[in-house]
């Protein structure tokens, strides 16, 4: 049977590029979850994938019994098999294997997952798609012994059509998951977070009509707060010259539109009396998209975001971004975060801190975080996992980075909370790196011209001026917001150095401090010179805030970081024990003294900028 692969298809419509590789709005479709217990096999030598000549078994016309993806059973008592899913242990999906199985805590390599299920279509002509929220890092997918394809990238969704492969009984879905770090991958070998392996987000079967609404974008036109624009795209044999309807009941909008030969229709609707989305007013409108006998619902907020000189304008009003950086980790469980309850916990802490903004570092987080941010009124920075030193000269690496950027942008383009697409974090300056990031930024602007572009860059010393810091990075010419990380008082001197630092940033753009901070073990006390004590971290925050007030273009910050998180780089016994201790909240959920310093500063900024 022919393999079914998902490819990037790029269409151009009124200046908007559409990459149809991400399933839109899964929660409001007919879905069947495949979450739950999956059997697994740890395959350190990948003998279930390669034969003894190191040839991939799934590229052979007749794979042998030892091809694990076939999920075969012995025919008789003499039959040779060296694996058995039925008697193998189980892991919960979604979830990482590191926190579920002690023996896999540090494991990096291949694990085979197997789920069996029955499925009967609601209608004989309907289509079925298999969707993964994310698998870290490479996933090879097999259904009933047939390879559907593979996906690289540990933080973005992907899907395959399986309409002609499903059986009503005894389907076997096998996923080869490989989380090995690789130099040419995105992210690359060296990171400062835990490399959680596994099927880390939801797995669903999605049933649609034979022709269905595949994609849509509904938002305000750039520069015109009274015009709702976008597109609706159908997928199927009957996609051309079809009627689709869009309604927004609260705005008394009802339109019926006809698709072109490609199954796409432009949306352009003048609207009055829009209640604009903001942190103070997180208004979401119910949007109904109808084709055939199916209506797709979404909740979308309308807001504008732009920069003017050194100001960030939200709905044409200057805003100060009271932020915090967040890893996709539930510290209370020491595991990858993946569900709505995790999002409520992390964003709830951010709101308690006084935040109107979060930086989701250093990769795309799960969709629950963005939908919850929409509901709670929290502005969001989303980041592509171009981190530290990747091989910028490698074209395949660039394609991986671009693919992941497109996938997260397509998934979250209708989320009002998302205002910044970040291209990278702390990358070293060079000509090839500049070209790499410049091409990513151009791709992002082509896909979405309504949001802002940035990257977490690095500060530098101003030549010839003692204790004067600034930023001299040619990529600043290609961003809307100048963002950089600074660790004065932690990696750069002691906190008292903040009192001697001057800043020189000669750009008429908003300045945003994407990281600063230092570590503290919650419950360890001393005076402000005792590194790792809560008092040291507290003093570090006090002095950094005073220092950063000097920057006239300063329009926000996202200190590092909301909560302690796991990292194999952090090896000091008793103090770190495999945890990065820069969190304002411990892995037990206890707030450190620095939390309240930042909370007080944000209260001051909220009062100042609300006037």
CATH of 10-208, one of 3.40.50.2300, 2.60.120.260, 2.30.42.10, 2.30.130.30: 2.60.120.260
Report pLDDT for 99. Answer: 97
Residues of the chain with pLDDT > 90, as a percent, come to 91
pLDDT tier at 296, thresholds 50, 70, 90:
very high
* pLDDT given at position 63: 79
What architecture is domain 215-292?
A: Sandwich (2.60)
pLDDT tens digits, one per residue of 428-473: 999 999 999 999 999 999 999 999 999 999 999 999 998 999 999 9
pLDDT digits (tens, 9 = 90+) for 589-600: 999 999 999 999
3-state secondary structure 396-440: HHHHHHHHHHHHHHHHHCCCCCEEEEEEEECCCCCHHHHHHHHHH
**Tens of pLDDT along 121-144?**
999 999 999 999 999 999 999 999
CATH 3.20.20.80 segments of the chain: 306-609
pLDDT at 60: 74
CATH 2.60.120.260 intervals, the chain: 10-208
Residues 532-550 have pLDDT tens digits of 999 999 999 999 999 999 9
Q: Residue 130's pLDDT is what?
A: 97
Give the separation between CA 460 and CA 467, rounded to whole angstroms. 10
Q: What is the pLDDT of residue 59?
A: 84
**β-sheet bridge partners, residue 580:** 565
- Could you tell me the CA-to-CA distances from 611 to 278, 283, 310, 344, 585 in Å, in that order? 16, 21, 18, 29, 31
pLDDT > 60? residue 17 = no
Q: Residues spanned by CATH 2.60.40 within the chain?
A: 215-292
Distance CA 323, CA 356 (A): 6
From the centroid of its chain, how far is CA 448? 17
**Fold classified for 306-609:** TIM Barrel (3.20.20)
Per-residue pLDDT averaged across 520-529, rounded? 97
Respond yes or no on whether the N-terminal peptide bond of residue 94 is cis (omega within 30° of 0). yes
User: With contact defined as beta carbons under 8 Å apart, do 382 and 456 qualify?
Assistant: no
Q: For the chain, what is the mean pLDDT?
A: 94
H/E stretch holding 130:
strand 127-132
- Per-residue pLDDT reduced to its tens digit, 309-364: 999 999 999 999 999 999 999 999 999 999 999 999 999 999 999 999 999 999 99
Separation of alpha carbons 514 and 14, rounded Å: 34
């Amino acid at each position: 049977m022919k393999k079914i692969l998902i490819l990037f298809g790029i269409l151009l419509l009124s200046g908007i590029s559409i990459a149809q590789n991400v399933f839109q709005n899964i929660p409001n479709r007919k879905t069947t979850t495949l979450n739950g217990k999956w059997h697994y096999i740890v395959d350190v030598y990948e003998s279930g994938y390669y034969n003894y000549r190191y040839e991939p078994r799934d590229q052979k016309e007749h794979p042998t019994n030892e091809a694990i993806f076939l999920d075969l059973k012995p025919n008789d008592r003499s039959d040779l098999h060296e694996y058995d899913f039925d008697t193998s242990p189980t892991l919960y999906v979604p979830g990482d294997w590191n926190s579920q199985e002690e023996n896999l805590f540090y494991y990096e390599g291949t694990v085979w997952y197997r789920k069996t299920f029955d499925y009967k279509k609601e209608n004989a002509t309907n289509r079925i798609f298999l969707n993964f929220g994310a698998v870290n890092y490479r996933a090879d997918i097999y259904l009933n012994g047939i390879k559907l394809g593979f996906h690289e990238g540990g933080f973005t969704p992907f899907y395959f059509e399986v309409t002609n492969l499903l059986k009503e009984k005894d389907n076997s879905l096998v996923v080869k998951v490989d989380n090995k770090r690789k130099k040419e991958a995105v992210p690359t070998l060296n990171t400062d977070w835990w490399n959680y392996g596994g099927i880390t987000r939801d797995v669903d079967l999605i049933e649609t009509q034979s022709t269905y609404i595949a994609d849509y974008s509904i938002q305000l036109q750039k520069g015109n707060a009274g015009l709702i624009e976008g597109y609706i795209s159908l997928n199927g044999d009957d996609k051309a010259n079809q009627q689709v309807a869009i309604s927004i009941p609260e705005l008394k909008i009802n339109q019926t539109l006809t698709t072109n030969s490609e199954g796409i229709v432009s949306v352009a609707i003048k609207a009055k009396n829009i209640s604009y989305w903001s942190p103070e007013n997180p208004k979401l409108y119910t949007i109904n998209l109808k084709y055939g006998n199916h209506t797709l619902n979404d909740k979308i907020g309308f807001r504008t975001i732009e920069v003017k000189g050194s100001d960030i304008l939200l709905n044409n009003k200057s805003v100060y971004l009271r932020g915090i950086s967040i890893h996709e980790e539930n510290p209370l469980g020491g595991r990858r975060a993946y569900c709505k309850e995790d999002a409520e916990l992390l964003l709830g802490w951010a709101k308690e801190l006084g935040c109107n903004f979060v930086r989701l570092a250093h990769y795309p987080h799960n969709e629950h975080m963005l939908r919850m941010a929409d509901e709670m009124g929290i502005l969001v920075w989303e980041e592509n996992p171009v981190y530290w030193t990747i091989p910028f000269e490698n074209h395949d690496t660039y394609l991986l980075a671009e693919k992941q950027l497109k996938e997260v942008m397509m998934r979250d383009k209708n989320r009002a909370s998302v205002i910044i697409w970040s291209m990278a974090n702390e990358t070293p300056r060079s000509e090839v790196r500049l070209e790499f990031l410049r091409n990513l930024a151009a791709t992002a602007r082509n896909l979405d011209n309504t949001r802002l572009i940035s990257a977490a860059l690095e500060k530098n010393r101003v030549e010839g001026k003692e204790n004067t810091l600034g930023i001299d990075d040619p990529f600043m010419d290609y961003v809307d917001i100048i963002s950089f990380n600074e660790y004065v008082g932690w990696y750069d001197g002691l906190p008292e150095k903040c009192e001697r630092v001057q800043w020189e940033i000669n750009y008429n753009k908003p300045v945003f401090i994407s990281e600063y901070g230092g570590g503290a073990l919650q419950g360890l006390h001393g005076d402000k010179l005792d590194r790792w004590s809560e008092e040291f971290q507290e003093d570090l925050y006090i002095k950094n805030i005073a220092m950063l007030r000097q920057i006239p273009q300063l329009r926000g910050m996202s200190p590092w970081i909301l909560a302690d998180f796991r990292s194999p780089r952090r090896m000091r016994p008793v103090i770190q024990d495999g945890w990065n201790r820069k969190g304002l909240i411990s892995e037990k959920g206890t707030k450190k003294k620095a939390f309240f310093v930042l909370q007080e500063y944000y209260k001051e900024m909220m009062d100042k900028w609300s006037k």
